[in-house]
Amino acid sequence: MLARGREVLEELFPGLSAELAAEGAVYGDVVDQVLWFNHGCYLRNAPSKLLGLLLSRPMLEGGVRRRLLKLDNVRLRERCDALEPVFDRERGRVTGLRVKRHAIAEHVETMNADIVVDATGRGSQSAAWLERLGYAKPREETVRIGVGYMTRLYRRRPEQLNGKVGAIIAAYPPGWRFGAILAQEGERWTVSLGGYLGEQVPGDEAGFLEFARTLPTPEIFETIRNAEPLSPIMPYQFSANLRRHYEELSRFPEGFLAYGDALCSFNPVYGQGMTVACVEAVILRECLGAGAQGIARRFFRKASALIDIPWQIAVGSDLQHPRVQGKRSAQVRFINWYIAKLFRAAQRDDVLATRFLEVANLTQQPPALLDPRMALRVWKGNRRPIQAVRTAAAPQL
């Protein structure tokens, strides 16, 4: 969970980070306690106020659910499928939701609602449903990346990885392979290795380890080589960044909106999706404060402005890959060139390293990297040589 998402969760559920940390989640300084490697350089580690949360998805969802259910006006209906919103054609508005309970075959009930929020994720059927009702579908923007990765859990000892809680080796030319090792509750590491556009990570023990060895830095390989595996090696495929432009629609039903991944789902390697969903919760709260009439239009406009930045970060970075298709505007090319230079300077510069991670953690906007004081630091830093980086030793034959 990026720092911005954690801040918002904390605002919505005060004390949640400490509660999860007490159960074993790792609550740490994103700049100081994680190794970030990209463009052949490590970002300099330094103490910062940027605090991220490392934990498994079930633990996070369990913690949020527990706090949510303590609210007097929240009730949870479990084991149901949302079938489709109920639409009142005459009033042009949604008045409820048709729901099917898992336990009762053939039984469909209607729940009345002032507002229905589609939070069914990337596979949302809202666009098709709108079309069936005679509304226009939102324009879909996709950037195909064919990211495939394998993940495995290992037993974690705190002295491993030089006491750091994670290492993220980004994909960059010419290898385009990436890896991440992140602590989580239960004294575990979660380790993901992957590549773009059909690059396959082997699913067997020896192949997985060998792939780790070919990453540009040795930390992941050296940590897992002798670590105790706690799970099988699990595959995951992510085809494309996907954005649905609901904010462009001129007609939209009252009493209905889409949210989270149903609006936009990003390449997961940048870890942005949950943070964007959290910030959208705050936007939705503000929009509700101004009344329910016309809420979708207001929400979509603000959510779209929010999504613009992480979308630029994810798609802009993915477009560095020469085989990823999409428009490489002069701005995208300049930013990618500049970020590579920034990494080189930030090897020795904690101000630059912190500023970069503030942007990547969505607590600052990208122009903060182009501020003249930052640009000067980048220029000065590039007059010094790149620090040497170790690679993992080849196995003895």
CA-CA distance, 293 to 286, in Å (whole number)? 13
The residue from 21, 113, 119, 281 that contacts ligand FAD (CB under 6 A) is: 119
Q: What is the DSSP letter of 167?
A: E
The number of C-alpha atoms within 13 Å of 346 and in the hemisphere containing its C-beta is: 30
If you count them, how many residues does the chain have? 397
Stretch that binds ligand FAD, among 134-142, 169-177, 257-265, 331-339 (CB under 6 A): 257-265
Task: Name the token pair of 390.
Answer: 């170790």
Q: Are 26 and 163 in contact (CB under 8 A)?
A: no
Query: Is 274 among the residues that bind ligand FAD (CB under 6 A)?
Result: yes
Site membership for ligand FAD, residue 86 (CB under 6 A): no
Residue 268 contacts ligand FAD per CB under 6 A: yes
Supply the minimum distance, in Å, between the C-beta of residue 121 and ligand FAD.
3
The reply to whether 271 sits near ligand FAD by the rule CB under 6 A is yes
Rounded Cα distance, 191 and 151, in Å: 5
The encoded tokens of residue 95 equal 């008045």
Q: Contact letters (x/-) for ligand FAD, 202-241, by CB under 6 A?
A: ----------------------------------x-----
Vertex 168: Cα angle to 40 and 367 (nearest 5): 75
Mapping DSSP onto H, E and C, the string for 121-179 reads: CCCCCHHHHHHHCCCCCCEEEEEEEEEEEEEEEEECCCCHHHHCCEEEECCCCCCCCEE
Quick one: 266 or 352, whose CB is closer to ligand FAD? Answer: 266
The answer to whether the beta carbons of residues 34 and 165 sit under 8 Å apart is: yes
The piece of 41-49, 160-168, 264-272, 300-308 that touches ligand FAD (CB under 6 A) is 264-272
Give the per-residue contact string, 5-44, with ligand FAD (x = CB under 6 A; - = no): x---------------------------------------
- Mask of contacts with ligand FAD, 295-334, x by CB under 6 A? ----------------------------------------
Does residue 381 belong to the site contacting ligand FAD (CB under 6 A)? Answer: no
d(CA 351, CA 374): 8
Binding site for ligand FAD (CB under 6 A): 1, 5, 81-82, 119-121, 236, 260-262, 265, 268, 271-275, 277
